[in-house]
Structure 1
Amino acid sequence: MSNVVRRDADIAALGRLNEIHPRLESLYKDLHAHPELAFTETRTAGVVADGLARLGFRVTTGVGGTGVVGVLDNGEGPRVLLRADFDALPMREQTGLDYASAVTGTGPDGKQVPVMHACGHDMHVACLLGALDLLAGAHESWSGTLVAVFQPAEELGSGAQAMVDDGLFEKAGAPDVVLGQHVAPIPAGMIGCHPGPALAATDALRVRMFGRGAHGSRPETAIDPVVMAAATVMRLQTVVSREIAGGDTAVVTVGALNAGTKDNVIPDEAELKLNIRTYTPEVRATVLNAITRIVNAEATAAGAEQAPEIAPLDTFPVLVNDLAAVERTTEALRAHFGEHTILDTGPGTGSEDCGIFATASGAPLCYWYFGGTDPEVFAAAEKKGTVGRDIPSNHSPRFAPLINPTLANGVQAMTVAALAWLTPR
């Protein structure tokens, strides 16, 4: 495909962006104000299904629980899968926006929790619907099949697999390529993409450590699980620093430690929640084995009468970008946005289950980031060396992508990337 032909198709598709942008901005604000937790995204799914139907897509709902799939057949050509996720996080929003979330939802434990789109999935939905609108409106400039996948439960790492297990490819056909994107705390206008292993595998664990409760004034009659858990947390910090080679990558984070209810009561047990990030099976095995050894050893050292329990919570596979797919896609993005806007961001320790659509279908994957931070604010923080402190990242209660130009850039990126694979007419 020549760059000239591709550019002509881009122009035909993107010509209506200014026309649809106000509607997309309203959609984004609406989604942001009404977030929903994993596998409960019924309102969002309804909004998406209605939008796809208006664009002429064949719509299937309830795929993998709450997932929505739209298919637009437009003659002979490649089948291009475009993916967006749409679940939110159990967090209280602190952005101060006039469209901030004030809703709550029911967590897996049945408790009410605040809910926020703290990872930008609302932006992903608005951008993909916008790209589909442009592509459908310019159907005379390309041929092939668009498969739009709106996925639930990315935050649990199980939504993509749920859709595959529910017959996604039987319903929509196996794709020739999988394309996905994610808004990130980099300057708006920048795009980052890394070929090869781009995002880490995740293992999340729940650890229960059992002691023997007693009155706080008589610790000698107890086996204190709080001390046991605290010692375990500190010892776990040595897994990466002392058991993983300097050239390898691993992260071990204890994200929660829960024990007890009152200052003068030693409880019977403590619970830890761990998050592990790795890139290779060998490093993963080393880390998991070390965690098991340390947890059991600390329990033994404390004189625990019951062995700890270690149970998996969720898992993500390594996301691997296909080298040829990255080259083809980023060539088109570079031609559209400019040479200086495309970065190789290197492998990241975040995790994503978008790659499951590629591995399950045998299709190549290209997954990239697009910036959502005010470039001037980012530049000022970079100059001071305070990017990590001053720029809210995904999963922060202060994370709020700059709507303009982030939304337009995300729409353009997905549109241009899709056209890089569809057959031009």
Structure 2
Amino acid sequence: MKKVLLFLLCAGMFLPVFSQKMDGTNAKVKAFVDKSYASWYELYTYLHANPEISFQEKKTMAKMGALLREAGFEVTENFGGYGVVGVLRNGKGPTIMVRTDLDALPVKEETGLPYASKVIMQEDGRDVSAMHACGHDLHMTVFTGTAQALAMLKPEWKGTLVFIGQPAEERSGGAIAMLRQGLYEKFPRPDYVVGLHDHAAIPAGKVGYTEGPMMASVDAVDITVRGIGGHGAMPHTTKDPIVLASQIVLALQTIVSRETSPFQPCVVTVGSIHGGSAYNIIGNEVKLQLTLRSFDDSVRVHTIAAIKRICNGTAQAAGIPEELYPVIKIRDQYTPSNINDVALTKRLAGAFRQVLGTDNVVNTPPSTVGEDFARFARVEPKIPTCMFWLGAVDPKKFEESMKTGKQLPSLHSSTFAPLPEPTIKTGVQAMSSAVLDLLKSK
């Protein structure tokens, strides 16, 4: 997939070259972008230096709320946790929802930037460093710039804007909390929902789009493999959970290779295994932690069922009594697959080409990362949604990576450092053009 993506990105200029054919409204947005960038850079560096991890975004929420009020939005805070909702009504017309995420990650920053985070927070009773290692600071800055640009252009459009700052994306709890509290009932129900996410392998100045499946569903699974411990010198008197766990780990790989169609993406990764206490002791249990990824709901359901079957079957074959079969827990952090509405995505890609130029709009393959933005579409009646990628990599570093094969820092890396100016400017121009295009008709 990486080779395909790099091939697609080779053509064209790397810095934002806005189309000479853009209409008057988008030209005004570009002028506003150039005029306002200095204040957005100040906002971006502030957000980067002051991150807050999931479920603790109180100050970040207040900052976003204040900025939306300044732009003329009616603002509701503390919605779905530390979420914020801004509404700007401007006559009869479509209702467009724009979403940003607010939270940071428990990562110690190692970028060396002058505005690097030094924040320490409490999580589960322990001190953790905090960093915007996934670019949510960029998302919020583009979100703010777009809100300001559209408010400035009120004489040129009709409709309603709903701008939401969602908490707890990284822990996959914020979107569902906002929906359960009545996001679509207490505020104008959107005709379309749009979001963006920065990309660690697309040069700044470009955007990427994916029609249909864009990101995978994500499940976190805990498995406790139980046995009967004893002396390491007498394994025949025990039921060794380490051997059993090893057999289970290997057997789980067949879910993808032998039970899932090769035309259906599926990932089963055992990311953590812990068991035992000493070299001459056979313990009583081993703990496994898994991440599951898929795009199709039926593949997800089958994978979970297969895990349970394999765990219990392997335990039975090892002679483990039924009361000691593995304990399997599917965590409630489930994130559904993010499926972009095809018609909406094609429409937005056309709008992006008008303002950014064809060479700066890239058809991007799906990724098995996850994003709870997907939940905003999973309602009845269904609402068309689209998330697009925002290139964030310094073009010089991208070119160097292409030539040398040196890996670029990924999202969630302690060294991930986006290039602010072209990324923010391109993001505001792209998101503004998307919303303006959707406001033209219902």
What TM-score do you get using the length of structure 1 for normalisation? 0.91
Q: Does 1:307 align with 2:325?
A: yes
Q: Superposed, which structure 2 residues align to 1:163-242 within 5 Å?
A: 163-185=178-200, 186-214=202-230, 219=235, 222-242=238-258
Matched, 1:367 2:387: yes
Q: Summarize deviations over 1:27-84 as a string: whole Å, max 9, x none.
A: 2122122222222111111111111111111000111111100011112211110011
Report the Cα offset of residue 299 of structure 1: 3.1
Aligned residue in 2 for 1:246: 262
Cα drift, residue 265 of structure 1: 5.0
CA distance in 1, matches of 2:108, 2:239: 36
AA matched with 1:362: K
- Could you tell me how far 1:253 is from its partner in structure 2? 1.3
CA 1:29/1:229 → structure 2, altered by over 3 Å: closer, same or farther?
Answer: farther
Unpaired segments ≥5 residues, structure 1? none
Q: 1:211 to 1:29 in 2, by over 3 A?
A: farther
Q: Match of 1:290, SS?
A: helix
Matched with 2:164 is 149
Counterparts of 1:270 and 1:164 in 2: how far apart (Å)?
37
1:291 is aligned to 307
Alpha carbons 2:29, 2:429 under 8 Å: kept: no
Query: Per the alignment, do residues 20 and 222 of structure 1 end up closer, same or farther by CA in structure 2, a change over 3 Å counting?
Result: farther
Q: 2:155 aligns with which of 120, 131, 140?
A: 140
Q: Which residue of 1 aligns with 2:423?
A: 406
Q: Secondary structure at the match of 1:119?
A: coil
Cα 1:328–1:272 shift into 2, 3 Å? same
AA in 2 matched with 1:234: L
State the 1:142 CA deviation: 1.6
Measured in 1, the distance between the counterparts of 2:204 and 2:46 equals: 21
Task: Find the counterpart in structure 1 of residue 12 from structure 2.
Answer: none
Residue 65, structure 1, aligned to residue 84, structure 2? no
Q: How many residues align?
A: 418
The answer on 1:21 being equivalent to 2:40 is: no
Secondary structure of the 2:158 match is strand
Confirm or deny: 8 A CA contact 1:6 1:419 kept in the other structure.
no
Whole-angstrom distance in 2 between the partners of 1:411 and 1:18: 11
Q: What is the aligned partner in structure 2 of residue 272 from structure 1?
A: 288
Partner of 1:324: 343
Counterpart of 2:392, as a letter, is G
Letter in 1 for 2:383: A
State whether residues 212 and 267 of structure 1, in contact with CA within 8 Å, keep that contact through their aligned partners in structure 2.
yes
- CA distance 1:332–1:158, change in 2 (3 Å): same
1:113–1:268 distance in 2 versus 1, CA, 3 Å: farther
Task: Give the secondary-structure state (helix, strand or coil) at the position aligned to 1:363.
Answer: coil
Range that drifts further, 51-60 or 209-218: 209-218
The answer as to whether partners of 2:91 and 2:160 remain within 8 angstroms in 1 is yes
Cα distance, 1:308 vs structure 2: 1.0
Q: Which amino acid aligns with 1:405?
A: P
**Kept in 2: contact 1:192–1:345 (CA 8 A):** yes
Whether contact under 8 Å (2:37, 2:421) holds in the other structure is: no
Q: Point out the more displaced range, 255-264 or 355-364.
A: 255-264
Structure 1 letter corresponding to 2:425? A
What displacement does 1:20 show?
2.1
Match of 2:7 in 1: none
Q: Is the 8 A contact 2:21 2:354 kept in 1?
A: no
**Pairs within 5 Å for 1:329-368:** 329-360=348-379, 362-368=382-388
In 2, the alpha carbon distance for the partners of 1:100 and 1:222 equals: 52
> Is 1:391 aligned to 2:418, yes or no?
no
CA gap 1:286/1:328 in 2 versus in 1, 3 angstroms: same
Partner Cα distance (1:297, 1:382) in 2: 47
Distance 1:148 1:252, change over 3 A: same
Over 3 Å counting, the alpha-carbon distance change for 1:357 and 1:383 in structure 2 is same
Whole-angstrom CA distance in 2 between matches of 1:233 and 1:91: 28
Q: Give the letter aligned to residue 305 of structure 2.
A: N
Of 247-256 and 234-243, the range deviating more from structure 2 = 234-243
The alignment status of 1:97 with 2:100, answered yes or no, reads no
- Once residues 242 and 337 of structure 2 are traced to their aligned partners in structure 1, the CA distance between those partners, rounded to angstroms, is 34
1:421 deviation in Å? 1.2
Select between 40-49 and 207-216 the one with higher mean Cα deviation: 207-216
User: Could you tell me which residue of structure 1 aligns to residue 139 of structure 2?
Assistant: 124
Which whole-Å CA distance do the structure 2 matches of 1:266 and 1:67 have between them?
48
Counterparts of 2:209 and 2:271, CA distance in 1: 28
Per the TM alignment, residue 301 of structure 1 is displaced from its structure 2 partner at its CA by 4.3
Q: CA deviation at 1:279?
A: 1.6
Contact 1:177 1:358 survives alignment (8 Å) = no
Matched, 1:381 2:401: yes
Aligned to 1:35: 51
Asked if structure 2 preserves the Cα contact closer than 8 Å seen for 1:9 and 1:142, the reply is no
Query: Given the superposition, is the C-alpha separation of residues 263 and 74 from structure 1 closer, same or farther in structure 2, using an over 3 Å criterion?
Result: farther
Alpha-carbon distance change, 56 to 373 in structure 1, aligned in 2, over 3 angstroms = same
Partner of 2:174: 159
Q: Between the two proteins, what is the percent identity of the paired residues?
A: 41
Shift of the 56–264 alpha-carbon distance from structure 1 to 2, 3 Å rule, reads farther
TM-score where L is the length of structure 2: 0.88
- Residue 8 of structure 1, CA deviation: 1.4
On the 8 A contact 1:6/1:420 being kept in 2, the answer is no
Equivalents in 1 of 2:122, 2:319: separation in Å?
A: 38
